[in-house]
A and B are shown apart, each in its own frame.
Chain A
């Protein structure tokens, strides 16, 4: 995939993880190159969230290897890792009474030392992150007063404020209406193209994954069953293998690739 000498930003090799005696990830292997936009798809319970949490080491343990920027995950302190990798969790509906600015500033944690207060450099990084994600206009609002789309923008900003080169997102657009979904997708593309940030996003939106990302990785039952460009994903056989159902497919008029549409009502 990469022609240059730089190692991939993320290398997952033969990674297995079980939680509570249940195998969640089995022999997962894939790479993510610097600057890539990768979508991870798969049915519920396929281990997508677990995989993201393993890369940012919210979940420890597991066998096999995960390397970030050429270094094994185990060689990083949590703080060092946070300077490279940002994470936007699934929206769980729980909110906290911080303002967007306060929350984004808290993303500077891996650059702060105890007893210290924030520096102009931190302020600048936070301002840049809010600018990039379009969160600046509501910087002074409390998180619990934001709409779902604004909230996601703030969460992306906080992860960017960390100085992350890699952004891991867990279903960033799942609960959003079409307008806010489009906004967040635009923000993520901008972060990726202009900010040079590598993006790995878990999603259930197969069409968006195929059209908008450089590559799609499909997990089923904790194993990678597909890794490749969206165009190759969008075939009857591959999708059926991933989701266990057949899709109705049509040609997308501008993307020039097949996309799925809602099944018709069976008579």
Chain B
């Protein structure tokens, strides 16, 4: 009996530790996000901001350039991270993210086609370019989903390879579109493909907000289902999860978020793979903790990457996609080689 109560208190301690880590993530993200707008090619003094002694130039930089940029980074990071988290749970694989499965490329293709053709994709209240990206993302997901349906017991490894192939295919199509486009469009596409957060206005923030907000609400709505899907589709179904409906809902949410973010910021890679994985190591696999942790950490992470991209070769800037890819490439390899023991979704456990 004493062993039992001791065990219970140990579990309580573990739960408490994880809860504190969640609070820690929130606090760290709040600090990073609050500090980010002051950092850049020129440093803006928080003290002078508070005392109202900011010059007109600095004031414009802070309010009109940096703040919307930080807000957009946060939204984009949160959306991409939670998309990755949902895919990793659904496919039970840490490498299965919208980026690796070709969904980002699909969205990019949508944007490239839209840029060149300037199609009138009129959906009231939503920017056409986002709708185009959303359609591209949906197309990619439909192909991936079709592949998993084609054959029962389709292994995740096969699916990842198919995703890589799909990415290359879409990338070639994007290059083709870019090649036949005129010089202006061509440069526009290239610059945007690098993943950029510059030249942001509040309008861009409002463009992305509904997509990320909608997707996040769906993710929060599905926490119980995501928990069960982590244990496998058969178990999830036997516990009462409507697996095919849940999958479709997740696909819709991810297409919304990836489409919305990619349309405005370009295909920023690896955020969706790294952030959820790090969060799992910190707060565990229970999605009621993992979803808020991933949203916050993803947002804070991209804000930080963007701040780095602004200062590392200041006054010039590195595209933020370059920064995340430089971090993400080695991280991908580390995961592939079995790093992060708790995250071993790729490997079979002991039987």
Segment of B5-13, B167-175, B267-275 in the binding face = B5-13
Which of these, A95, A102, A103, A136, contacts B350 with CB under 8 Å? A95
The residue on B at minimum CB distance from A91 is: B351
Among listed B48-56, B256-264, B281-289, interface-contacting one: B281-289
| Bound Cα distance A159, B231 (Å) | 13
In the bound complex, CA of A186 to CA of B279 (Å): 40
Question: Which of B4, B221, B231, B238 has a CB less than 8 Å from the CB of A136?
Answer: B4
Across the interface, do B240 and A82 meet the contact criterion of CB distance under 8 Å? Answer: yes
Chain A residues near B92: list those with CB within 8 A.
94
Enumerate A194-236 residues with CB–CB distance to B below 8 Å: none
A162, B239: Cα distance in complex, Å: 7
Task: Map CB proximity to B onto A84-106 as digits: 1 under 8 Å, 0 otherwise.
Answer: 01110101111111110111001
Asked, given contacts A114-B221, A140-B7, whether A93 binds B351 with beta carbons under 8 Å apart, the answer is yes
Residues of B188-227 whose CB lies within 8 A of A: 220-222, 224, 227
Q: From DSSP, what is the main secondary structure of chain B's interface residues?
A: helix
In the bound complex, do residue A58 and residue B231 qualify as a contact, i.e. CB atoms below 8 Å apart? no
> With A106-B228, A140-B14 known to touch, is A148 a contact of B234 (CB < 8 Å)?
no
CA of A162 to CA of B237 in the docked complex: distance in angstroms?
12
Q: Identify which of A77, A107, A114, A144 contacts B242 (C-beta below 8 A).
A: A77
Contacting residues, chain B, for A80 (C-beta < 8 A): 240
A221 CB, nearest partner CB in chain B, Å? 20
What separation, in Å, do the CA atoms of A106 and B10 have in the docked complex? 20
In the complex, residue of chain B having the shortest beta-carbon distance to the beta carbon of A117: B288
Determine which residue in A19, A98, A175 has the highest number of CB atoms from chain B within 10 A of its CB, and name it.
Answer: A98
* Nearest CB in chain B to that of A94: its residue: B348
Q: Are A79 and B240 in contact (CB under 8 A)?
A: yes
A78 at interface by CB-CB < 8 Å: yes
Q: How far is the CA of A78 from the CA of B244 in the complex (A)?
A: 11
With contacts A106-B231, A140-B8 taken as known, whether A78 is within 8 angstroms of B240 at the C-beta atoms is yes
- Distance, CA A77 to CA B237, complexed state (A): 11
Nearest B residue (CB) for A98: B285
> Does B235 sit within 8 A of A, measured CB to CB?
yes
Question: Knowing A137-B3, A144-B350 touch, does A106 contact B239 (C-beta < 8 A)?
Answer: yes
Collect the chain A residues with CB atoms within 8 Å of residue B230's CB. Answer: 96, 98
Q: How large is the interface on B (under 10, 10 to 19, 20 to 34, 35 or more residues)?
A: 35 or more
Q: Note all chain B residues with C-beta closer than 8 A to A19.
A: 152
B241 within 8 A of A: yes
B46 touches A (CB below 8 Å): no
Which residue of the partner chain, among A57, A89, A115, A137, contacts B4 with CB atoms under 8 Å? A137
Q: Which residues of B contact A158 (CB under 8 A)?
A: 239
The answer to whether A72 has its CB under 8 Å from any CB of chain B is no
Across-interface contacts of B350 in A (CB, < 8 A): 93, 95, 144
User: Considering the chains assembled together, what is the distance between the CA atoms of A81 and B237 in angstroms?
Assistant: 10
A53 to chain B, nearest CB (A): 7
CB of A42 to closest CB in B, whole Å: 20
Expressed in whole angstroms, the Cα–Cα distance for A115 and B221 within the complex equals 6
> In the complex, are the beta carbons of B234 and A89 less than 8 A apart?
yes
Contact indicator B234/A109 (Cβ below 8 Å)? no
Task: Find out whether the CB atom of A58 lies under 8 angstroms from the CB atom of B349.
Answer: no
Indicate whether A98 sits within 8 Å of B286 (C-beta atoms), given known contacts A109-B239, A140-B14: yes
Closest A residue, CB atoms, query B231? A96
If A95-B350, A102-B286, A137-B7 touch, whether A78 touches B14 (CB-CB below 8 Å) is no
> How far is the CB of B296 from the nearest CB of chain A, in Å?
19
Q: A52-73 toward B: CB 8 Å interface, digit per residue (1/0)? A: 0100111000000000000000
CB pair B240–A81 under 8 Å, yes or no, is yes
B238 touching A144 by the CB < 8 A rule? Answer: no
A110 within 8 A of B: yes
- In angstroms, Cα B14 to Cα A136, docked, is 17
Q: Is the CB of B241 within 8 A of A109?
A: yes
- Using CB atoms, name the residue of chain A closest to B9: A140
**CA–CA, A77 and B245, complex, Å:** 12
Determine if A89 and B235 form an interchain contact, defined as CB atoms under 8 angstroms apart: yes
Q: A107: which B residues are within 8 A, CB to CB?
A: 239
In the complex, are the beta carbons of A139 and B234 less than 8 A apart?
no
Q: Complex formed: what's the CA distance from A265 to B22 in Å? A: 63
B329 on interface, CB distance cutoff 8 Å: no
Q: How far is the CA of A184 from the CA of B79 in the complex (A)?
A: 45
Can you offer 19 A-B residue contacts whose CB atoms are under 8 A? Answer: A58-B238, A77-B240, A80-B240, A82-B238, A83-B240, A85-B238, A87-B234, A87-B238, A89-B238, A95-B349, A96-B349, A101-B11, A102-B286, A103-B231, A109-B240, A136-B4, A139-B7, A162-B239, A162-B240
Q: What residues of chain A have their CB less than 8 Å away from a CB belonging to chain B? A: 19-20, 53, 56-58, 77-83, 85-87, 89, 91-99, 101-103, 106-107, 109-110, 112, 114-115, 117, 136-137, 139-140, 143-144, 148, 158-159, 162, 175
